[in-house]
Every structure is written in structure tokens, then in C-alpha cells.
Amino acid sequence: MQSPENIDADTVLGHQQSVSTFVPRRFLSGGHVQTVAAFLMSRRFELPTPEARLVEVAPGVQLMCHCHWQSDRTKALTIIVVHGLEGSSDSQYARGVAHKALHAGMNVIRYNQRNCGGTDALAPVLYHSGLSSDVAAVARHVIACDGVSRLALVGFSMGGNLVLKLAGEWGTEGPPEFCAVAACCPSLDLAASANALHEPANRIYETYFLWALRRRLLDKARLFPNHFDPRRLHGVRSLRDFDDKVTAYYCGFTGVDDYYDRASAAHVVGQIAVPTLILHAANDPFIRITPETRQKILVNPNITFVEAADGGHCAFIGVENGASGAIGARDDGYWAENEIVKFLGHLETRN
């Protein structure tokens, strides 16, 4: 694997693309510090009021999307931004990348997974890491209904797994409008990452996720008492337990191992056939990429893979190229968001 300080990756964009070095903000070094700081630090965004749109992704199942359009939506690159576990279209990284992409002239669709963004009452279903078909349905919807000419997918964490999984499943057979994908800290290897989440140093994160997931299931059971049984939460002590007793049970898998195996993008990442950016931090507390998956990524000429030494989980609070002091007007200090929009901007300049 190449050093993140000196990467020149061949991409199907037709030129050598240099990827900036990430330097953490002063006093915010370390995977846990970065991760927690990104969760706690509030941010302000100047986003225009979005068009709220429900998109049917399966019979009787709708997702809420928040759409931001340029004056001519058909010509601008359209990006669909997919959040992570227990996030929503209002997650700070979703709004952050939306703000930057809009200013770069792109259309942005902030996507809520099933139940997320206040949509629990829409259908008696749960979301999970394998629902790339939902993302595909939204992509095909905006192509058909809005006439967009170019489409890219952006995902964070669990959302990163979803967009990479879809890109790999599409391979060379995706819609002709589909032209790129970018993922920040994607959970490509679900089993390895779930195991890492249960390590003592990461219990704070697992405890938070379990609290949120328990609350969601209890809400679903109140809304749909004939579909969900809260007693399935008994004995759940880890994310793996939850995914075995709840996610796999209600989402059509034989068990947690079947779920993690079938839902992981690792199986298809080698088949991705469009320009792809994957950002990862070597000190991400709980996302793990196995050697086998790394090899699939590194031999795919369509993928630019950047593993920064620092950055935590979907945080990357810092500056570019070792710049010191104040953060410029175009760089608000959220490196991954900037890199994603910059990567997609190369597509804009070629059209």
C-alpha cells in the first residue's frame, strides 16, 4: 500500500490525481479524539430549503430524500449522499458535504435510509447494511423524474458500504448516467468491524449505537405491534447480538454471519467500474479492512484509496497539505468532505 503522504493514483479520469495530505487540527490528534470531537462539535451550515421528496423503493416502502437543485438540474452533476448507522440526512457530514457540493455547482440529494430522519411510521420495516437496492431505486428515480445527466454516490461509514456495494453490483451494467462514487470510512467488512466495535476501547461507541438501535426497535414495536417484538432485545449485549436477534431475524437473513457476509461490499468492490475514492483513517477506532479486501481495492485501477495516518471515524478535522494556522475560506477544516467534493469536481471539469 502506498504512503498517504505521497499518492499519485491512476484513475479512469485519464490523469494522475494527487490526493492531499491530512494533518489533524492542533490538540485533536488521535482516532478517539477525532471521532468524539466530530460528534460533539456543532457546525453551522447555510443550506437552502430543500425539496422534501418521498421515493418508493419497494412496494409500500418509502424513503425521505431532501433535494437541493441547481437552476438547471439536468446539466449539473447530481450526488446522492448516504448517511451511516443511526444517522440521517441531517448528520453533520451529510450537511457539510452538501454545502460544499452546492457551492461547487452540483445537485445534492441527502438520503434517509429506511426509518431514519423521522420516518419510522412509514412502513413496518428496518434498515440494514445490505440495502443497496434502495439506493439504486432512488438513483433510478431521479434519473427518470428529473432528467439528471450525471450521477455520483457518496457514503459515510455504513452508507459508504452501501454505495460501494451498489457500484460493485452495477459493475459495467449501471445506468449510463452513473459516473462516480466516493466513500468515507466505509464498513466494507462488516464482521471485522462489528468485532472491533466490541473491543473494550470501543465500548463507548457500541453502547451509543445499542442505545439508539434499542430505542428505534421499541418505537417500531409501538407503531407496528403486530410486526415487532421488543422481547427480542433481551440478552443483547453487543452490536453483533443485536444484528443476530433483530436485524437478521426481521430482514430475511439466517443469522448474523449470513447478514454480515451477504451485506458486505467487500465481495464486489473489485467489480467497481467507475472512478472511485475511498478515504480511510489508519486509526479509525472500529472500522477494519481485511487484507483480502485491501488487495481487491488496490488492484482495481478505478479506485483511488487513501489511508491517512490520523482522522478517526468519519472525522478528519484538520487542514490540507500541512498548512498551519487559520483555515482558509474554502477549507473549513473538514478534510474528507473537501476531498470528496474536489474528487467529484474533476468530473465537472471534464464535462
Q: What is the spatial distance between Cα 220 and Cα 228, in angstroms, rounded to a whole number?
A: 7
Same structural domain, 174 and 277: yes
Query: Residue 16 pairs with which residues in a beta bridge?
Result: 10
Chain-centre distance for alpha carbon 190: 14
**pTM to 2 decimals?**
0.91
Residue 126 and residue 34 in one domain = yes
CATH label of the domain that carries residue 276: 3.40.50.1820
- pLDDT (0 to 100) of residue 15: 32
Domain total of the chain? 2
Inside any domain, residue 1: no
The pLDDT value given to residue 291: 97
Q: What pLDDT score does 347 carry? A: 76
CB atoms near residue 237 (< 10 Å): 10
Of 210, 235, 263, the residue that ends a domain is 263
Please tell me the predicted confidence (pLDDT) of residue 321: 55
- Domain assignment present for 318: yes
Range of the domain at 230: 197-263
Bridge-partner residues for 54, per DSSP?
A: 64
**Using CA atoms, how far apart are residues 88 and 82, in angstroms rounded to an integer?**
8
Are residues 9 and 304 in contact, defined by beta-carbon separation less than 8 angstroms?
Answer: yes
41 and 80 housed in the same domain: yes
- Shared domain for 319 and 277, answered yes or no, is yes
Choose one of 263, 287, 304: the last residue of a domain.
263
- Whether 15 and 98 map to the same domain: the answer is yes
Which residue type is seen at 329?
A: A
Regions of the chain short of the pLDDT cut 70: 1-20, 320-331, 348-351
- Does residue 91 share a domain with residue 153? yes
Task: Answer whether residue 77 is part of any domain.
Answer: yes
- Could you tell me if 94 and 65 are in contact, meaning their C-beta atoms sit under 8 angstroms apart? no
Same domain, 56 and 132: yes
Q: Are 128 and 122 in contact (CB under 8 A)?
A: no
Same domain, yes or no: 123 and 49: yes
Domain match, 17 and 59 both: yes
Pick from 245, 263, 281: which residue ends a domain?
A: 263
Give a yes or no: residue 344 inside a domain: yes
The verdict on 138 and 273 lying in the same domain is: yes
**What pLDDT, on a 0 to 100 scale, did the predictor assign at position 325?**
35
Looking at the domain assignment, is residue 3 inside a domain? no
Helix (H, G, I), strand (E, B) or coil at 54: strand
According to the model, what pLDDT value does residue 235 have? 96
User: How far is the first Cα of the chain from the last one, in angstroms, to the nearest whole number?
Assistant: 32
- The verdict on residue 85 lying in a domain is yes
The residue type at 214:
R
Cell numbers placing 305: 484509496
- Residue 87: inside a domain, yes or no? yes
**Are residues 136 and 113 both part of a single domain?**
yes
Cβ–Cβ under 8 Å, residues 25 and 318:
yes
Amino acid type, 319:
V
Counting beta carbons within 10 angstroms of the beta carbon of residue 225, is it exposed (0 to 12), middle (13 to 18) or buried (19 or more)? exposed
Q: In what order do the strands lie in the sheet with 107-111?
A: 51-58, 61-68, 107-111, 77-82, 150-156, 178-184, 276-281, 303-308
> Are residue 160 and residue 67 in the same domain, yes or no?
yes
Given this model, what pLDDT does residue 154 score?
Answer: 98
All residues at 6 or more sequence positions from 213 whose CB lies less than 8 Å from its CB, including other chains: 86, 239, 242, 246
C-alpha cell of residue 324: 498551519
One-letter amino acid at 250 equals Y
Per the rule left: phi > 0, alpha: psi between -120 and 50, beta: everything else, 319 is beta
pLDDT of residue 2: 35
